[in-house]
Each structure stands twice: as structure tokens, then as C-alpha cells.
Amino acid sequence: MRFMAMIKATRDYEAGKPPNPELMAAMGKLSEEMQKLGKFEMGGGLLPTSQGHKVSMSGGKVSVTDGPFTETKEALGGYYLIECDSKDEALEWAKKVPLREGGFVEVRPIWQM
């Protein structure tokens, strides 16, 4: 099964403050560990919502809104796409994701057609 582990952005992240070197090293180490075991499919960090855009539909019209998205309280800061044998295994990997204070990881299975 494939899972998406979505890492919540923190206020510091949204403010454009880069993660400390120790956090980045820990993320690199986790990615390497998952790669060696054939679990890592892809992953990466996202830039703050101030550099993003939102495409939405309302009343049959498509509109584009430039960031930042002040109403977004749980913006994503990064993600891992992983291949796991079970939900429990995906959760074990998510527990290893290094986080900033106040951060969290949401884990969801990917719908397969």
C-alpha cells in the first residue's frame, strides 16, 4: 500500500525561517533509511503558502488566489510518499519524522484505482 505522510507547516516555516541544520540532517537520514529498505518513493519540502496559489471553483467559475493563505491553519510544509505493508508500518515511519515544535504528520492511504 502507498501512503502519504504530510508534514504540517509551523508558524516559523510559514514565516520563511529555514529548519535548523540538525532537523535537515535528521530528515535526510530518515529518507536514506527508507530508501535502503525500498519504502521511500518520493518526498520533499514545500515553500511557504506566501509563494503558492490556490485554484478554486465557485458558482461554476474557476479562480486563482495568490498566497499567503491566512485561513489555512494546517498548511503543509513537506511530505513523504512511502510504500508500506500496512497502516501500522506507515505510522511507525511517521513517528520517525523529525518535527519542529508544534508540528505533526498526517498519514493517509493513497486511493488506488
Query: pLDDT averaged over consecutive 10-residue blocks of the chain (113 residues)?
Result: 93 84 93 97 91 92 88 80 97 93 90 85
- Domain count for the chain, please give it: 1
* pTM of the model as a whole: 0.83
pLDDT value at residue 109: 96
- Which of 34, 36, 26, 47 lies closest to 2, judged by CA? 34
Cis peptide before 68 (omega within 30 of 0): yes
pLDDT value at residue 70: 64
C-alpha grid cell, residue 78: 513537506
The domain spanning residue 8 has which CATH number? 3.30.70.1060
DSSP for 61-93 reads EEEEEESP-TT-SS-EEEEEEEE-SSHHHHHHH
Residue 90's alpha-carbon distances to 17, 24, 55, 57, 94, in angstroms, are: 29, 21, 30, 33, 6
Could you give the 3-state DSSP secondary structure of residue 111? coil
- Name residues whose C-beta falls within 8 Å of residue 52's C-beta, 6 or more positions apart in sequence: 46, 67, 68, 69
pLDDT value at residue 72: 57
Q: Which domain holds residue 83?
A: 2-109
